[in-house]
Each structure stands twice: as C-alpha cells, then as structure tokens.
Structure 1
Amino acid sequence: MKKLLPFVIVLFLFACAKKETPIEKSISEYVKTNFKDPASYERISIEVLDTVTVAKKIKVYESKGISHEQFDNEPKDKFLYYTVSHKYRANNSFGAKEVYSDIVSMDKDFKITGSHSVDK
C-alpha cells in the first residue's frame, strides 16, 4: 500500500494538469525564446479575437479606400490569420512586475507572425 500511494498521487497530479491549447503552447514557446526574463512571465488571459479571411480583409481595405487587387483571385473564405489577445505579467527591464496587453497574429499552424502592444 505504501508503494501504491506515491503512484496514485503522481497519477492524480497528471490528471489535474491542464493541457495547453496550440495557441497557448505557441505563446509559451515565444516567451521562452524571446523574453529577457521568461521565468517572471505569468499568463493572465489568452483570447482569440478573430479569424481573418480574404473576405474580411477586403472589407477592411475597402473601408480605408485601399486597393485590394492582390486578393481578387483568392477564394473569399480563404483563411489568412488569427488575431489573439494576450494579457500577462512580466518583469520589465528594471525587474519590476508590469501588466502587458498584446495583440498577436498567428498563421494556420499557430506560428506567431506578428505582435504589437496595446496602449494602456
């Protein structure tokens, strides 16, 4: 019985561990390789804001009066990218914790293709 208890505890811990989604995994990998202090990173929230297709991109271009001829021969339902809201805490360059909000773009394989900070 004593030998079984540690096994049951470990099994319980693995069962309770939340599995990362592909988007969360991509952001975690980005943090590990690109942040100055990745150990200070604390995720607050990750939320998919939009799935951008050719039709949505054309609509945006038209509203801004920009030519959209590069999309004219593309299927309107063709996927272009995801936009994801990413809010987190991390140490700044002085070592103090700050809250950050970013908008991240990801391709169909959840590879990060761009990111920009959202003003507070």
Structure 2
Amino acid sequence: MKKLIAILVLAIALTACQESYEKAVDDYVKQNFNDPESYECVELGKPQEYTIVLYAMEQVRAKGRAEGWSADSIFNKTMEIRPYFESLGSNPDSVLFRFVEHTYRANNAMGAKVLHKEKWYLNDDLTAITRIEPQ
C-alpha cells in the first residue's frame, strides 16, 4: 500500500511540473491526431523566440550569399541592422513568433507508425499551438 501511495504521489508531482508549452502540445495531440494513443514524443525542444532583428539578419545573410558577398560584407551589414531599427524608433527585439522543434512518432491514417520532425508554433503565452510546419 505504501508503494502504491508513493507511486501516485510521484505521478502527481511529475504531472504538476509540466510546462505550459508541454501541456499545449499534449492538448493539441489529444484534439487533432487521428490516433492520439499512438503518439510517442522523441524530442521536444525548449520554446524559442523569433525576433525582428533575427528575421532581418537571416534576410541579409540569404541575400549576401545569393549575390556572392564576402563573409566580412555580410557580417558588417548584419551589424548595421540593430542600430537601424533603433534609429526608426522600433524595438529590434520585438517577438514575431514563438516555436518549439518537435520530433515524434504517431500512426498515420493507414495505421503505420511514422517519424515526424516539425516546428510547432505557439501563441504569446505558450498555452496553445497555432500552426505546425514540417522541417
């Protein structure tokens, strides 16, 4: 009996420690998967934020590579981005969106277990999944 109580207390403690984004993933699986019982989490990353300055830096790097800029030129252009946004009165660290990288297995509509690697986008308070993109 003592072992059973200890196991129950441990299970409750572990469930209570669940992060809001983990609960959002669990809720999404239960509500949207064909076979939620087949879901197996392989890896669930920590939430990441994508800011205006990160987006702008990615765009500059992509343009620089496409146009054959030197690594130094790309670096110098990316270093100008933050001061540029600040000069416009914009906050370069404003968050555009939040996401977690998620790898899992689940049965498809045919019943075959399939490995998925995706980005799961979250709302501002990390309590709901807003969309999913394959990686």
Q: TM-score, normalised by structure 2?
A: 0.66
Cα deviation 1:88-111 (Å, max 9, x = unaligned)? 111111112121111122232113
Distance across 1 between alignment mates of 2:11 and 2:120: 31
Which ranges of structure 1 fall in alignment gaps of 5 or more residues?
Answer: 66-70
1:77 is matched with which residue: 84, 89, 93? 93
Q: CA deviation at 1:26?
A: 0.8
Report how far residue 60 of structure 1 moved: 2.3
Higher helix share: 2
CA shift in 2, pair 1:55/1:96, >3 Å: same
Q: Which amino acid aligns with 2:105?
A: R
Coordinate RMSD, CA, aligned: 2.7
Alignment size in residue pairs: 111
Cα deviation for residue 75 of structure 1 reads 1.0
Change (3 A) 1:107 1:73: farther
Q: 1:63 to 1:24 in 2, by over 3 A?
A: same
Shift of 1:14: 2.6
Please say if 1:113 is aligned against 2:130: yes
Contact 2:46–2:100 (Cα < 8 Å) also in 1: yes
Structure 2, unpaired ranges of 5+: 64-84
Extract structure 1 runs of 4+ deviating beyond 6 A.
Answer: none
Q: What is the identity percentage for the equivalent residue pairs of Structure 1 and Structure 2?
A: 28
Deviation at 1:16, TM superposition (A): 5.0
The match for 1:68 is none
- For normalisation by structure 1, the TM-score amounts to 0.72
1:8 CA drift (Å): 4.9
CA distance in structure 2 between the aligned counterparts of 1:48 and 1:11, rounded to whole angstroms: 26
